[in-house]
Amino acid sequence: QVQLPQWGAGLLKPSETLSLTCAVYGGSFSDYYWSWIRQPPGKGLEWIGEINYSGNTNYNPSLKSRLTISVDTSKNQFSLRLNSVTAADTAMYYCARVRVALIEGARYGFDVWGQGTMVTVSS
Amino acid sequence: DIVMTQSPDSLAVSLGERATINCKSSQTVLYSSNNKNYLGWYQQKPGQPPKLLIYWASTRESGVPDRFSGSGSGTDFTLTISSLQAEDVAVYYCQQYYNTPFSFGPGTKVDIK
């Protein structure tokens, strides 16, 4: 069974850098894309970005200028860095596996999720 | 960017009754070359991450009870719970993966009447 434990700092001050890592245990790392998704308290879901085994990334334009998603294939891990955080970045951050259709290469669903990391930005 | 909307914001349904949630995308999510709708549905219970229920608009994820069904095409979609159970109390989200940035609807909260 695939598991995605995730970790990182949960309390940040404005202007600091958010850094989270997600590990992939129990399944293929190379056959999927890997995403970060966040959810402000009491609100809906926002897709942050994704990366694959080869390091190909797609970012949400709303965050692109502050965002880096990277992959460490030697450890089957992927990471999120978000610079210059503000209170608006306070949210539960999830990592998730993204299914990829073999023929079309289309992504078609986040089927395995991490447990989430609550990140609070406060002075 | 594709904007997803859902209706209603919330609904309360008696146990055993039908619950229907609507989702609309600001542009088509039907990919003409393979005739697939790039639309999924998720269930989120309090304190838990979302769970994938439906993909390709109507394909049920493995292990999901058959009381959950998805329908629709193009820009208009529906998630139906045919006979609501107590464990179905949750917030339900639709999501498009037609293009990036992938986007979710605002969610529909389902409660027991």
**What is the tens place of the pLDDT at every residue in A39-61?**
999 999 999 999 999 999 999 99
To the nearest whole angstrom, how far is the Cα of A60 from the nearest Cα of chain B? 5
CB–CB of A107 and B50 under 8 A?
no
- Taking 70 as the pLDDT cut, the residues of chain B under it are none
Q: How far is CA A2 from CA A19, A28, A32, A61, A107, in A?
A: 23, 9, 12, 30, 18
Mean per-residue pLDDT, A100-119:
91
Take residue B51 and report the two structure tokens written for it: 């769970």
* pLDDT at res. B1: 96
DSSP A20-47: EEEE-BSS-STTSEEEEEEE-TTS--EE
* CA A17 to chain centroid: 14
- % pLDDT > 90, chain B: 98
Q: Which residues of B touch A106 (CB under 8 A)?
A: 31, 36, 38, 97
| pLDDT of res. A103 | 75
pLDDT in the model for residue A104: 76
Helix (H) / strand (E) containing B103:
strand B103-104
Rounded CA-CA distance A39/A42 in Å is 8
Whole-number percent of chain A with pLDDT over 70: 100
Instruction: Among A15-19, A103-107, B4-8, B43-47, name the one with the lowest average pLDDT.
Output: A103-107
Residue B10 CA to its chain's centroid (Å): 13
Tell me how close the Cα of A122 comes to any Cα of chain B, in angstroms: 22
A62–B56 C-beta distance less than 8 A: no
Nearest-angstrom CA–CA distance, B40 and B75: 13
Q: Token digits for B42? A: 């998720």
Residue A111 touches chain B, beta carbons under 8 Å: yes
Residue B107: list chain A partners with CB under 8 A: 44-45
Q: Are strands B4-7 and A107-113 parallel, antiparallel or unpaired?
A: unpaired
The reported pLDDT for the residue numbered A101 is 86
Residue type at A75?
Answer: K
Residue A106's pLDDT is 85
The answer to whether B68 and B81 have CB atoms below 8 angstroms apart is yes
pLDDT at residue A105 is higher than 90: no
pLDDT band with cut points at 50, 70 and 90 for residue A84:
very high
Using alpha carbons, select from A31, A26, A29, A49 the residue that is nearest to residue A95. Answer: A49
Question: Is the distance from CB of A25 to CB of A82 less than 8 angstroms?
Answer: no
DSSP A89-118: G-EEEEEEEEEE-TTT--EEEEEEE---EE
Is A13 exposed, middle or buried, given 0-12, 13-18 or 19+ CB atoms closer than 10 A? Answer: exposed
Tokens representing residue A40 in the block? 């402000």
**Contact call for A44 and B105, based on CB within 8 A:** yes
